[in-house]
Amino acid sequence: MPSNDGPELSSIHGSLEDLARRIVEIAERRDLDPDDLVSTGLFEVDRSLRNALRQLERVRGRL
Say whether pLDDT at 59 is over 60.
yes
pTM here is 0.84
Residue 23 belongs to domain spanning: 5-61
Count how many domains the chain has: 1
Report yes or no: 45 and 1 within 8 Å, Cβ to Cβ.
no
Predicted confidence band of residue 4 (pLDDT cuts 50, 70, 90): confident
- Measured in residues, the chain has a length of 63
The pLDDT score that the predictor gives to residue 5 is 92
The pLDDT score that the predictor gives to residue 1 is 47
Those residues with Cβ within 8 angstroms of residue 7's Cβ, 6 or more apart along the chain or in another chain: none
pLDDT tens digits along 9-52: 999 999 999 999 999 999 999 999 988 989 999 999 999 999 99
